[in-house]
């Protein structure tokens, strides 16, 4: 095994070290060579093939790490994902090559939860419209919906769902949740009611998604799911775009069955101006910015750095993907 001082580490997340310079200085002090992504965006498989041949450790963003990219990874020992999504990583090929993949669970939970609450407030109160109109010299009379006394349904009560539930506690609303595995002690402690999905959809004024994109959850928000939602309700997705059948969501919004939606993620990112959902005024769209805060990027950076260095030193990482 190489000593750290002879190792080459590739770092591709463009926000790595942006808010805490020690993330870069510490890495550069410990290893022999560090290469950073200077393109300003995630790397393609082809770009990685030109960078990986002599790389030992890889702190990875949303790059396409497929079989072709792995074909150039002659010395790679670890991919430390800066985040939790691994859909862009060929995990089977990594395992076949003995390359450890790690993630940073919980690092962005609070930031994504904060964005969820922000989107929720912007959906029920026309803040964006009112602010834009006022800047134009207008003085619109708007009518909003109060969160007080309403029902919010959380699909998923994991790390992010819990943080959303905690923050909703101050709004005097009823909170429902549905998940495959439920932390009932947590739910009981803050008054979250665990219910069947159909009950949640039928009774919630706002439904917020907080589950991972897995084969069994892909397209879970389909026409039947949307039809089961309360007429005039709202949908929020700060999880993964693959959860939603975007065509079905367009129909539910265009028909008026849903009053609005806030989407931080899309099936295709960026979605492009021709995505029908972007033509609807009742849709708030943001550019997958849930984890784009100083707190989240710092936490992801330190967790990815520690696991990357652990593998290069022959130690056990804290958050290995199995």
Q: Active-site residue among 8, 81, 210, 240?
A: 240
For residue 87, what pLDDT is reported? 84
Q: Which of 228, 280, 279, 245 is nearest to 259 (CA)?
A: 280
The gap between the terminal CA atoms of the chain, to the nearest Å, is 23
Query: How far is Cα 272 from Cα 293, in angstroms, rounded to an integer?
Result: 24
CATH number of 4-107+293-312: 3.40.50.720
Active site residue 166: no
Torsion (CA) 14, 16, 17, 22 in degrees, nearest 10: -150
How many whole angstroms separate alpha carbon 181 and alpha carbon 197?
A: 13
Q: List pLDDT tens digits, range 148-202.
A: 999 999 999 999 999 999 999 999 999 999 999 999 999 999 999 999 999 999 9
pLDDT at 271: 95
**Looking at residue 213, what is its pLDDT?**
87
Segment (H or E) for 178: strand 174-178
| Residue ranges in the chain whose pLDDT is less than 70 | none
Residue 80 has what pLDDT? Answer: 98
pLDDT digits (tens, 9 = 90+) for 265-282: 999 989 999 999 999 999
Find the catalytic residue in 167, 288, 292, 306: 288
**pLDDT, position 153:** 98
CATH 3.40.91.10: does it fit domain 109-285? no
288 included as an active-site residue: yes
Asked if the domains 4-107+293-312 and 109-285 are classified in one and the same CATH topology, the answer is yes
Is 316 a residue of the active site?
A: no
pTM value is 0.86
Domain-by-domain residue ranges, the chain?
4-107+293-312, 109-285
């Amino acid at each position: 095994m190489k000593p750290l001082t002879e190792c080459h580490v590739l770092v591709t997340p463009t926000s790595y070290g942006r808010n805490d310079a020690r993330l870069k200085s510490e890495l550069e002090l410990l290893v022999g060579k560090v290469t950073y992504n200077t393109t300003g965006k995630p790397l393609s498989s082809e770009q990685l093939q030109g960078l990986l041949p002599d790389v030992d450790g890889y702190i990875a963003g949303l790059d396409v790490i497929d079989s072709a990219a792995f074909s150039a990874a002659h010395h790679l020992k670890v991919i430390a994902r800066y985040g939790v999504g691994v859909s862009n990583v060929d995990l089977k090929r990594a395992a076949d090559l003995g390359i450890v993949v790690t993630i940073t669970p919980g690092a962005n939970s609070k930031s994504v939860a904060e964005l969820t609450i922000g989107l929720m407030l912007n959906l029920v109160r026309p803040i964006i419209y009112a602010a834009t109109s006022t800047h134009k010299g207008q003085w619109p009379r708007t009518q909003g919906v109060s969160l007080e006394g309403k029902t919010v349904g959380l699909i998923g009560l994991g790390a992010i769902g819990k943080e959303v539930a905690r923050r909703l506690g101050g709004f005097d609303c009823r909170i429902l949740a549905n998940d495959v595995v439920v932390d009932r002690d947590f739910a009981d402690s803050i008054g979250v009611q665990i219910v069947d999905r159909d009950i949640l959809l039928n009774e919630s004024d706002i439904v917020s998604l907080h589950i991972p994109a897995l084969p069994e959850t892909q397209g879970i928000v389909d026409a039947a799911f949307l039809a089961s939602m309360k007429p005039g309700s709202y949908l929020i997705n700060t999880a993964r775009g693959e959860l939603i059948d975007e065509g079905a969501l367009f129909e539910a919004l265009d028909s008026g069955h849903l009053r609005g939606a806030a989407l931080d993620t899309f099936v295709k990112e960026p979605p492009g101006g021709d995505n029908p959902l972007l033509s609807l005024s009742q849709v708030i769209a943001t550019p997958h910015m849930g984890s784009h805060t100083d707190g989240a990027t710092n936490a992801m950076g330190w967790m990815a750095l520690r696991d990357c260095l652990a593998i290069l030193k022959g130690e056990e990482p804290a958050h290995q993907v199995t």
